Amino acid sequence: MKKVLTGAAVLMAVIAMAGCSSGNKNAQSSSGSANTAMSESQAGAAQSADANQMSSQAANQESKVDGTVKTYTNSSMPELELIVTYKDDTVLTISQKQILTGYDSLGATNKEDAQKAAQQMNEAGKNHAAEGVSTNFEVTDTGVISSTTFDISKITVDPSGTLSDLGFNPDSNSFKALDANLLSAGYTAK
């Protein structure tokens, strides 16, 4: 059990580090030519297309769960999306999806190498995930979409601390409390 938790913690750390490195790169501003502005505009359009694809896939995945789906975003973390499935006041699943521009989050420089790395990470996630936690890396034309889903009915631990960071209390498992915590933390519902 300890090896499973350690593997899940390592996988979650990779996701967190990927997000941090992506955030640092996205936070850097560029100055100069119109070519740079055009490249950034094209990257923004591609990232928007990836976000639409991600939302559509999440809606398809979450619609398989018998419940209501609510999606949250935060302007301070535009690459992140939280998808909560709930029924009445009970949270069923919480999914964290992150769009990472480029392939360096998987240690790759091109799409082909990133796909190989994503396949390896997805296999590792299947073999070492904590109970109720699933991870997935998907490679797009512009980068990587990483997702972590917590099935609240099956989860036994929160190895990455993600749920507590969101203000979710698994003991009470209240959607209303989670919603209030997310809104007070700067998230907005789509």
Query: Which residues, 6 or more positions from 89, have their beta carbon under 8 angstroms from its beta carbon?
Result: 174, 175, 176
Going residue by residue through the chain, which has 190 residues, state the pLDDT in tens, using 9 for 90 and above.
233 222 333 344 344 333 333 333 333 333 333 333 334 444 444 444 444 444 444 444 433 457 899 999 999 999 999 999 999 999 999 999 999 999 998 999 999 999 999 999 998 888 777 888 899 999 999 999 999 999 999 987 776 788 988 999 888 999 999 999 999 999 999 8
What DSSP character marks residue 29?
A: -
C-alpha pair distances (Å), 100 with each of 7, 34, 124: 22, 24, 20
What DSSP character marks residue 130?
A: P
Q: Count other C-beta atoms under 10 Å from residue 147's C-beta.
A: 20
Q: Count other C-beta atoms under 10 Å from residue 65's C-beta.
A: 14
| Residue 66, amino acid | D
Separation of alpha carbons 165 and 144, rounded Å: 23
| Whether pTM exceeds 0.85 | no
Order the strands of the 133-139 sheet from edge to edge.
133-139, 143-151, 90-101, 80-87, 68-74, 187-189
Instruction: Map tokens 């979450």 to a residue.
Output: 62
